[in-house]
Structure 1
Amino acid sequence: MKHLKHTFLVGILTILGLAANAQFNIHGTITGADGKMIYLFDDEDNYADDSVFIKNNQFNFTIKKPNKERVYALILGENQYPMLLIPGSDPALTFTATEAEFPIAQSLTTNEQTQAMQTYQKLFRPLVNRALNLNIEAARIDSADESGKEAFREKARVFSQDVASTGKAFIKQHPKAIASVWMLLNELRNRLEPDDFMATFYSLDKSVQDSRYGQMAKNYIAQLQGNALNVTAPDFTQDDVKGKPVKLSQFRGKYVLVDFWASWCGPCRQENPNVVKAYEKYKNKNFTILGVSLDQDKNRWIGAIRQDGLNWTQVSDLQGWNNEVARQYGINSIPANFLVSPDGKIIARNLRGAQLEKALESLIK
């Protein structure tokens, strides 16, 4: 994967391709920047899409408008901090700024998404300055000065907490802004615990969750869920064999084995007798199973349930490998399962054969 070099603070963004249609005009007036070069980047690669010398403190770029929200960056000369913008339904962006304050604009006429991005940049400007000062301070600490290094670690810890709290406050106030998910990916990803990252992401509006940047966050969450323990299992809803919606959260208070399988999966069918044995032994001891099938044929799915004696709740959207829950949890092979505690935490993964009974025996007294 490639990365946009010039992110706002410390983050980097995974990229996708560009799809375009109508044109979008970017016109800027930057006082004090006459004769300097300004560059336009998209998030596809590390190369400028366009560049121009500023004349009479003004410049103009025209781009093909992408079909979906996409972040662009304006880089002024050697200034490593870009102005971030998002072309929208409006035909143009017009702003005024000074060279000294760039990328913060004095005035900005544009869509709400770019306005929110500018608000984010203004909010983080003091943190950028603090980061620069911390870098200078770190370079001056003698390698043998243990007390100095410890004091600096504390400053860095407080700084990281301030970035996280500032970012989360912005996201809470701007749930419909692409800037929020951009911030989450670039500024907060390495500063939040997995549960906190997921909760913050799922607090965003669905339109942002479903954006190209939201998909990047979902991919990151799937990676977390594919490996992490003691993280909250995100809730989901899927229909059972009778078409009735079933939620994972409705089993809260019990140990729940979420079991991914399919009628066509030989190893799954071979493992089912072990799962049935564990279910029969512990079903009356605060334990149940929620089966998630990656089937596409409903009759085969129901037939396998009956044939294998899977007498617990079964759900599926009959989308095969595109099953929404399987994608949500990053499932790329089956059989697969995870054990959820009564308080909703994933406490074990991929328990096979006697491992499942052994785990339940240690948990259920």
Structure 2
Amino acid sequence: MKKLVIAASLALSGLAMSAANGYHITGTAAGVEEGDTVFLCEMQGFFSMVPLDTTTVKNGKFEFSGDFDGASTRFILPIHNGKNTAMADFLLENADIDLTISDDPKVRPIVKTEGAANKLQAEYNALMAPYDKEMEKPWSIVTDSVSSKEDKAKARVIVDSISDIKKSLNKVFTVAHIPSAYSDYLYVMNGSTFSAPERDIIEKKMEEGHHYYYFQQMLDEKKAEMATAVGQPYTDLAMPNPKGKTIRASEYVKKNKYTLIDFWASWCGPCRAEMPTVVKAYNLYHKKGFEVVGVSFDNNKAAWVKAIAQLMLPWPHMSDLKGWGCAAAPIYNIKGIPANVLVDSKGIIVGKNLRGEDLLNELAKLMK
């Protein structure tokens, strides 16, 4: 039934909405003065704000311009005397967008735009509003520490029922507006709620239309995953070592029977926990032709160098010190670390993401 609904919605899909030639953001923010700094940010990880652009307040206003072929939530952080006076979220798209930001965190920013994605977001929010309202009371019972187990269970049934309705509405809305920047955004935000057959239908339709930001990113990731699968030639990496000299992974691949290109970072707890196993593998097989090349996702050189010493990692290391912007990330489609690829002397990937005993067992077979 759901598949039929999805298919029917696809038949009603309109043409792609034309986007403005880039975005132009203007706005005012309470609590800032002439010359104060304003950041345009995206959120990564657990409420971590990553600056994408910066400007200063001129004549009481801030401005940003750029290009983003899609739609996504972004944040404005105005700074006065070293402290942010507010944090306002909005939907970024290629359009003229005007923001009025209060210094009261309970007050939503006033957004004025004729952008197609923002218009669709308003429609979507209006569609969901009655169900959000209906969910308030049972949700308050579910989260109330003094509610009885029986009351919580009854409220949970209601919450789950409303959630199922919202998921169905989200699917229909998403599909009905393909191709559009907002459907592209909704799909990446709620893709896990779609079944595999539904995803196949949606992605086929997206493939036929304009490739907005997130769908294009998805295609790029699939391409990278296929290109770095076991049996494929590896891609060389060149970055500075801790002394600042640029080294290449290929320098070590061609000299050894097997080379583990190991992606890690000093701030990554699981990476540090994995290092004793990698050190053990290195000690067991280095003299037999096994090498490790560490590729760090650090952005702090001192922390990187300190971790190498603390963990006693004797192999060659490289990093462009760009954090998650590391050049290796898109090449090897790395979404989390630790990660690795095991490469033979011919440059063919023979193993991927080998950890713990899996790494030791694989090397035991290969290094006989």
Q: TM-score scaled to structure 2, two decimals?
A: 0.41
